[in-house]
Amino acid sequence: MDRPSDTPRGQQDSRPRVPRATVVRLPQYLRFLRDAEAAENHYLSGARIAAALKIEPAQVRKDLAVTGIASRPGVGFCASELIYAIELYLGWNNTTDAFLVGAGHLGAALAGYAGFQRYGLNIVAVFDLDDHKVGRKLCGKPVHPFDQIAAKAQEMHVHMGIITVPSGAAQDVADVLVLAGIRAIWNFTPVELDVPPNIVVEKTDLAASLAVLSRRLADALRPSR
């Protein structure tokens, strides 16, 4: 009933736990700071950042504290310092190579999105089960046969996979990615993937966002009378 050693959460919990919501906000700060930097605003107070992004000032200070960068009262944060620190924190200073599986419309949208470069993401290859798509290019990225994932992952030292296949194939694709040594999966299907605990999965579920929007629209239209 009682376990020998009662490790509460992981082993070495030296890192202070950062709320997910904070990580979600970091790209917002990053964008704003890059724009400010481009506009020659090199120093910005937390209060100003807060006002621009409609976030509570205290929240901004707390969020930015995770970067380890201090702000000087009266002067503010040094934009370039913060930009560098946020990129570092998110691992966006070095580009991460990723595989994309599923050369459909959504796959094409992601493969063709030049903006990912700013987020340190580089889709190096696309895979698809459909032989008609193999050999062609999808938005400039070569499309390989699905069964070459493992070989190419070893060869190219790729750690991240993006799944944009139909729901029915999602789990199979995930299994293959895991076997290929992929450590992080960005799942664009609504399927709750079953993967080993050491694999990081992040789901982008369009239906979830749409649900919130639909519900709020219904609320907005109802009492309009």
State the residues that interact with DNA by CB under 7 A: 17, 19-22, 45-47, 55-59, 61-62, 64-65, 70-77
User: Which lies closer to its own copies via its Cβ, residue 26 or residue 176?
Assistant: 26
Task: Report the partner that residue 62 touches, choosing among its own copies, DNA, none (CB closer than 5 to 8 A by kind).
Answer: DNA
60: Cβ contacts below 8 Å, ≥ 6 apart: 29, 46, 47, 49, 50, 53
Of residues 202, 138, 127, 121, the one with CA closest to residue 165: 127
What does the block give as tokens for 217? 């629209």
Task: Report the partner that residue 225 touches, choosing among its own copies, DNA, none (CB closer than 5 to 8 A by kind).
Answer: none
Neighbours of 165 (CB within 10 A): 25
> Quick check: 104 binds its own copies (CB under 8 A)?
yes
> Quick check: 38 binds its own copies (CB under 8 A)?
no
**In angstroms, what CA-CA distances link 219 with 211, 214, 225?**
12, 9, 12
> Quick check: 142 binds its own copies (CB under 8 A)?
no
From the CB of 83, what's the least distance to its own copies, in Å? 14
From the CB of 72, what's the least distance to its own copies, in Å? 26
From the CB of 186, what's the least distance to DNA, in Å? 21
State the virtual CA torsion across 130, 139, 98, 169 in degrees, nearest 10: -30
Q: What whole-number distance in Å separates Cα of residue 54 and Cα of residue 169?
A: 40
Task: Report the partner that residue 156 touches, choosing among DNA, its own copies, none (CB closer than 5 to 8 A by kind).
Answer: none
> Quick check: 200 binds its own copies (CB under 8 A)?
yes
Task: Report the partner that residue 3 touches, choosing among DNA, its own copies, none (CB closer than 5 to 8 A by kind).
Answer: none
User: Which lies closer to its own copies via its Cβ, residue 147 or residue 175?
Assistant: 175
Contact 110, 173 (CB under 8 A): no
How would DSSP label each residue in 195-217?
--TTSEEEE--HHHHHHHHHHHH
Q: What whole-number distance in Å separates Cα of residue 56 and Cα of residue 62?
A: 10
> Quick check: 180 binds its own copies (CB under 8 A)?
no
**In angstroms, what CA-CA distances link 78 with 37, 93, 157, 195?**
9, 18, 35, 41
> Quick check: 214 binds its own copies (CB under 8 A)?
yes
From the CB of 43, what's the least distance to DNA, in Å? 9
Give burial (CB, 10 Å; 0-12/13-18/19+) of 4. Answer: exposed
Residues that bind its own copies (CB under 8 A): 12, 18, 20, 23-28, 31, 53-54, 89-92, 96, 104-106, 108-109, 112-113, 116, 119-121, 139, 159-160, 183-184, 186, 190, 192, 198, 200, 202, 204-218, 220-221, 223
